[in-house]
Amino acid sequence: DIQMTQFPSSLSASVGDRVTITCRASQRISSYLSWYQQKSGKAPKLLIFGASSLQSGVPSRFSGSGSGTDFTLTITSLQPDDFATYYCQQSYNTPGTFGQGTKVEIK
């Protein structure tokens, strides 16, 4: 299985901050990387697919980049609604493994 490692595992930030989350794959996965946002008690929501393609309806303050093994999710100007846990997931092959998550908390 491809191992996905996210860091940091948690971070504290203020409204308006720029936040960057990193995801690293244990082998090259081209651009087969998606990002999800999960709020407490809710199902995850797709933010980014193909490493950098914004899912329809997702605010443009979310962006993704990277290819190969190293990827980032960036939130420019963090909003109150953005405090959640974020997961990366590779879809290069099955099983489609997820990172362990990054919890974004209010500073």
Partner 1 sequence: QLQLQESGPGLVKPSETLSLTCSVSGVSISSTGYYWGWIRQAPGKGLEWIGSIDQNGGGFYNPSLKNRITILGDTSENQFSLSLSSVTAADSAVFYCVRFVGAPAGTRGIDYWGRGTLVTVSS
What is the binding site for partner 1 (CB under 8 A)?
1, 32, 34, 36, 43-46, 48-50, 53, 55, 87, 89-101
Minimum CB–partner distance for residue 16 and partner 1 (Å): 28
Least distance in angstroms from the C-beta of 9 to partner 1 = 10
What are the b/e assignments for 17-38, b being 16+ CB within 10 Å? eebebbbbbeeebebbbbbbbe
Shorter beta-carbon distance to partner 1: residue 44 or 66 = 44
Q: Tell me how far apart the terminal alpha carbons of the chain are, to the nearest angstrom.
A: 36
Q: Which is nearer to partner 1, 17 or 98 (CB)?
A: 98
